[in-house]
Amino acid sequence: MKYFKIFNSCKIVKGASQALIYDLDRVDNSSPIPLDLFEILTDHKGKSVKQIKSFYQNQYDSTIDDYFRFLEEREFIFYCSEIEKESFPEREFNWNKPNKIINSIIDFDRSIPISEYRTFIVDLYSNDCQVVEIRSFVKLTLDEIRSFLKHFDYTSILTVELLSMFNDKVKKSEIVELLDEFPRLKKISFYASDFSETNGVINYSTNKVVPDLDCGNVDPKYFSINLDTFSEAQKHNTCLNCKVSLNKVGQIKNCPSMDKTFGDFRKVSIQNVLDKNEIKEDWKISKDEIEICKDCEYRYACTDCRAFTDEKSNKYSRPSRCNYNPYQGLWKGENGYVDVITRIK
Amino acid sequence: MILIISEQEDYSTERVTKWLDHLHAKYFRLNKEDPIKNLEITFSNNDFSINLYINEEWLLFKEIHSVWYRRGELNFDFDLTFTKNATDSFVKGVQYNLIHEELKTINDFMEHVLINKPSLGSMKWKNANKLLSLLYAQRAELEVPKSIISTEKKQLKTFFKESKKDCISKGVQDVMSFVSDNNSYSYATSKILSKDIEDMSETFFPSLLQHNIDKKYEVRTFYLNGDFYSMAIFSQNDEKTSVDYRNYNVQKPNRNVPYLLPKKIEDKLTVFMNSMELNTGSIDLIVTNNNEFVFLEVNPSGQYGMVSIPCDYELDFKIAKHLISLK
Ligand code: SF4
Ligand code: SF4
């Protein structure tokens, strides 16, 4: 007898109207599945196809055959023999890292001289920060970009991303040189540009953006299906966890768009802020606790914005920029879509 | 203090040291890229001491309570200029050899001292010997692939015929790959067809041939001081990766899933590791369609991250804790 097993890197997450197979090895292979297939995969885990068919009194044999053909073709499952049944334990999804901070956003509008940011960046580095995003409200000059990037020399920060208002004096060829000169710079994007062009690394967009207001958008193109996010999302907020940021006037915040501040970076150290724990308040809110999201199959791939939510007073309120209705399985613009909130009210 | 011998670019070392920081443990990381500029070895009154000067810091062997030998070696960087009157190339050659012999004696002495400290990994196995591991595996009653090393075409042909299926060739030494003239050569396993053997000259450099084993999946297990952390690798669904998963298929990554070895196999592997005097290493096995386990090789300083991450074994953390507990 052959028993089916789901590869451990394929995780099925149930939503209100459908389920999603997260393929953590092969992202593009991820696939929504109907709820009755979800039932087969979970309630009848480890059975043989024959056993499953007879459980349903052989009423749905051809559907079940179709399902298993699909699962085999997409390599979501494999079959094992009796003696191997116990050889494939379930994977756990812990998320433990030694880093005190992992990422940071620094908002900039020239109210503080760039030279003063060096101390904060070194402070981020000594707390193991890996990724920093600099967002400028003004048109950065090439010299300004350079001075910012120089602050990262001799730190172990791996990635710097930059977002700035478009400046027609900064040539694309100069940006290319910049990327060579500063290998940490992995992405540079300009908004309010005269033209739009993108290659993932250097991006120009004509959209007018206000960095701390235009954040937290929910869209499949921002979903991240991968092992790290999936594991982190089990018990953490994947946007705010291990994040320490600065708003444009130098106030330390979890994210620049949130209300709570923890002091001016020129007066208090990150260590000081972390010791008080208050900044960590939202780090452990997971999608499983968020209203509506907890019924959504995308919850371990979607950002959980806590700055813009349906109801400010409710800690577990849904990100207000969501355009998906998990009860219908429909996105805004699709036929029959109803906004979740109106539906509930 | 924990001494870590490693290489600058080794990511696993980076992760483990982060955990050591987190756990407030003291360590000294010595990379093979870090030149040892100065050294002091003193013997006095039934006692001796070794001190090394590295990166503007003195490393005192007395303070080392345990060693993690991850990879690499000690890198002495002394002035090796010869005495002025040594113009004769013969004299130069002799001097050169003498100096290297001297250094080797010092190096071996230090390695000996380090090997005898409580440790994870050992400098003794800086170079794993693939043939020796096959021999010890056989003695531990593990199955190993039928193998031959030969310099003669005739012998390889006979061996090939016996296989009934096909054979694979491997480097006798440790697996490595290198790039030259935009071609990348790899000593990773590749399939040999009878035509390949026909094309060979009558005699050649010693080559290792193994009977190809019909595999259901491969198992890579990380051995850490008696515990096994195993992972099954399903690669045969794809022609490209069906011989050796190191010929990595970018479009379609293999399926890597947590796996439990049968107790019987773990016991044999423990005997094997003990006989090799290894307390850590990555072991590769094949599981055949008949559920037999065939031992392939052990890599004393393998990249365990590729097992730890997909299976959530948190090995960086476990290694850090183990290093702290070593006495
Ligand atoms: S919490 Fe919302 S606004 Fe803040 S960084 Fe995350 S997505 Fe952006
Ligand atoms: S924000 Fe929308 S898409 Fe994202 S998890 Fe919640 S309901 Fe689903």
* pLDDT tens figures, A31-55: 999 999 999 999 999 999 999 999 9
**A309 domain residue, yes or no:** no
Last residue of a domain, one of A235, A251, A280: A280
Which protein residue has the closest C-alpha to ligand 1 atom 7? A216
Amino acid at A228: D
**Is A55 found in the same domain as A148?**
no
Determine the pLDDT at residue B242: 52
- For residue A231, how many other CB atoms are within 10 A of its CB? 21
ipTM: 0.82
Mean pLDDT across A235-263: 97
**Is B219 found in the same domain as B205?**
no
> What part of A 2-41 touches B (C-beta under 8 Å)?
7-9, 25-26
B248 pLDDT higher than 80: no
Across the interface, whether the CB atoms of A93 and B310 are under 8 A apart is answered no
Find out whether A326 and A297 touch, Cβ atoms under 8 Å: yes
- A102 neighbourhood in chain B, CB within 8 Å: none
- B21 neighbourhood in chain A, CB within 8 Å: 98
**Is B14 found in the same domain as B71?**
yes
Considering chain A, what percentage of its residues have pLDDT values greater than 90? 90
Determine the pLDDT at residue A108: 97
**A281's tokens:** 């308040």
- B255 neighbourhood in chain A, CB within 8 Å: 7, 9, 25, 75, 78
Nearest CA distance, A64 vs chain B (angstrom): 23
Binning pLDDT at 50, 70 and 90, where does residue B190 land? low
Rounded-to-integer distance, Cα A172 and Cα A193, Å: 12
Determine the pLDDT at residue B67: 95
**B306 domain residue, yes or no:** no
**Is A66 found in the same domain as A203?**
no
**Is A111 found in the same domain as A65?**
no
Of residues B73 and A197, more confidently modeled? A197
Cross-chain CB nearest to A91 (options B234, B311, B317): B311
**Is B190 found in the same domain as B247?**
no
Rounded to the nearest whole angstrom, what is the distance from the C-alpha of residue A322 to the centroid of ligand 1? 13
**Is B76 found in the same domain as B20?**
yes
Determine the pLDDT at residue B128: 67
Determine the pLDDT at residue B205: 76
Ranges A331-335, B42-46, B82-86, B266-270: which has the least confidence: B82-86
Amino acid at B284: D
Domain holding A178, by residue range, is 103-280
Mean pLDDT across A254-272: 96
Ranges A299-313, B8-22, B209-223: which has the least confidence: B209-223
Rounded to the nearest whole angstrom, what is the distance from the C-alpha of residue A217 to the centroid of ligand 1? 9
Binning pLDDT at 50, 70 and 90, where does residue A342 land? low
**Is B25 found in the same domain as B121?**
yes
Mean pLDDT across B238-243: 52
Determine the pLDDT at residue B184: 38
SS3 state of residue B253: coil
Determine the pLDDT at residue B84: 60
pTM, two decimals, is 0.86
Ranges A79-83, A198-202, B49-53, B178-182: which has the least confidence: B178-182
CB of B232 within 8 Å of a chain A CB? The answer is yes
Which protein residue has the closest C-alpha to ligand 1 atom 5? A255
B96 pLDDT higher than 90: no
Rounded to the nearest whole angstrom, what is the distance from the C-alpha of residue A216 to the centroid of ligand 1? 5
Mean pLDDT across B119-123: 89
A345 pLDDT higher than 50: no
- State the count of interchain CB pairs (< 8 A) between A and B: 61
CB of A87 within 8 Å of a chain B CB? The answer is yes
Residues with CB under 6 A from ligand 1: A 215-216, 239-240, 255, 257, 303, 305-307
Which protein residue has the closest C-alpha to ligand 1 atom 1? A305
**Is A275 found in the same domain as A141?**
yes
**Is B228 found in the same domain as B159?**
no
**Is B221 found in the same domain as B207?**
no
Last residue of a domain, one of B156, B182, B211: B211
Mean pLDDT across A217-242: 94
A106, A161, A215, A279, best to mutate for ligand 1 pocket (most atoms within 8 Å of CB): A215
**A9 domain residue, yes or no:** yes
Of residues A181 and B95, more confidently modeled? A181
**Is A110 found in the same domain as A194?**
yes
**B325 domain residue, yes or no:** no
**A183 domain residue, yes or no:** yes
Per residue in B166-182, pLDDT (tens digit) is 777 776 554 333 333 33
CATH of the domain at A41: 3.90.930
Last residue of a domain, one of A87, A113, A146: A87
Mean pLDDT across A326-339: 94
Buried b (16+ CB within 10 A) or exposed e, A53-84: beeeeeebeeebeebbeebeeebbbbebeeeb
- B324 neighbourhood in chain A, CB within 8 Å: none
- A90 neighbourhood in chain B, CB within 8 Å: 258
**Is A263 found in the same domain as A178?**
yes
Across the interface, whether the CB atoms of A227 and B310 are under 8 A apart is answered yes
Return the top range by mean pLDDT from A89-103, A247-261, B139-153.
A247-261
Ranges B106-120, B131-145, B190-204: which has the least confidence: B190-204
The total number of structural domains in chain B stands at 3
Cross-chain CB nearest to B253 (options A25, A89, A96): A25
Of residues B171 and A259, more confidently modeled? A259
Ranges A131-135, A268-272, B308-312: which has the least confidence: B308-312
Last residue of a domain, one of A245, A265, A280: A280
CB of B154 within 8 Å of a chain A CB? The answer is no
Mean pLDDT across B245-268: 81
**Is B103 found in the same domain as B152?**
no
Q: Say which ligand is closest to the CA of A17.
A: 2
Task: Output the DSSP codes for B93-120.
Answer: HHHHHHHHHHHHHHHHHHHHHHHTSSEE
Residue A105 alpha carbon, nearest atom of ligand 1: 5
CB of B25 within 8 Å of a chain A CB? The answer is no
- A75 neighbourhood in chain B, CB within 8 Å: 237, 255
CB of A141 within 8 Å of a chain B CB? The answer is no
Long-range contacts of A182-188 (CB under 8 A, 24+ apart): A182/A149, A182/A152, A184/A149, A184/A152, A184/A157, A184/A158, A184/A159, A184/A160, A185/A149, A185/A160, A185/A161, A186/A159, A186/A160, A186/A161, A187/A161, A187/A162, A188/A161, A188/A162, A188/A163, A188/A164
CB of B311 within 8 Å of a chain A CB? The answer is yes
Write down the mean pLDDT value for chain B. 83
Determine the pLDDT at residue B254: 86
CATH of the domain at B254: 3.30.470.20
Across the interface, whether the CB atoms of B18 and A89 are under 8 A apart is answered no
**Is A244 found in the same domain as A119?**
yes
Considering chain B, what percentage of its residues have pLDDT values greater than 70? 84
Long-range contacts of A316-320 (CB under 8 A, 24+ apart): A316/A285, A316/A289, A316/A290, A316/A291, A317/A290, A317/A291, A318/A290, A318/A291, A318/A292, A318/A293, A319/A216, A319/A218, A319/A290, A319/A293
Find out whether B310 and B290 touch, Cβ atoms under 8 Å: no
Binning pLDDT at 50, 70 and 90, where does residue A336 land? very high
The total number of structural domains in chain A stands at 2
**Is A258 found in the same domain as A144?**
yes
Across the interface, whether the CB atoms of A9 and B317 are under 8 A apart is answered no
Ranges A252-261, B166-175, B273-282: which has the least confidence: B166-175
**Is B226 found in the same domain as B172?**
no
Determine the pLDDT at residue B176: 37
- A91 neighbourhood in chain B, CB within 8 Å: 257-258, 310-312
List the beta bridge partners of residue A189: A163, A203
Mean pLDDT across A290-302: 97
Last residue of a domain, one of B125, B160, B187: B125
Does ligand 2 lie within 6 Å of residue A6's CB atom? no
**Is B173 found in the same domain as B112?**
no
Domain holding B150, by residue range, is 146-211
SS3 state of residue B52: strand
> What part of A 174-233 touches B (C-beta under 8 Å)?
227, 231
**A304 domain residue, yes or no:** no
B185 pLDDT higher than 50: no
Of residues B100 and B108, more confidently modeled? B108
Rounded to the nearest whole angstrom, what is the distance from the C-alpha of residue A215 to the centroid of ligand 1? 6
**Is A35 found in the same domain as A7?**
yes
Mean pLDDT across B65-74: 92
**Is A75 found in the same domain as A108?**
no
Give Cα A251 to chain centroid, integer Å.
24
**Is A57 found in the same domain as A141?**
no
B317 pLDDT higher than 90: yes
Rounded-to-integer distance, Cα A232 and Cα A300, Å: 8
**Is B6 found in the same domain as B92?**
yes
**Is A159 found in the same domain as A70?**
no
Per residue in B136-159, pLDDT (tens digit) is 999 999 999 888 888 888 887 787
Which protein residue has the closest C-alpha to ligand 2 atom 2? A322
Across the interface, whether the CB atoms of A96 and B317 are under 8 A apart is answered yes
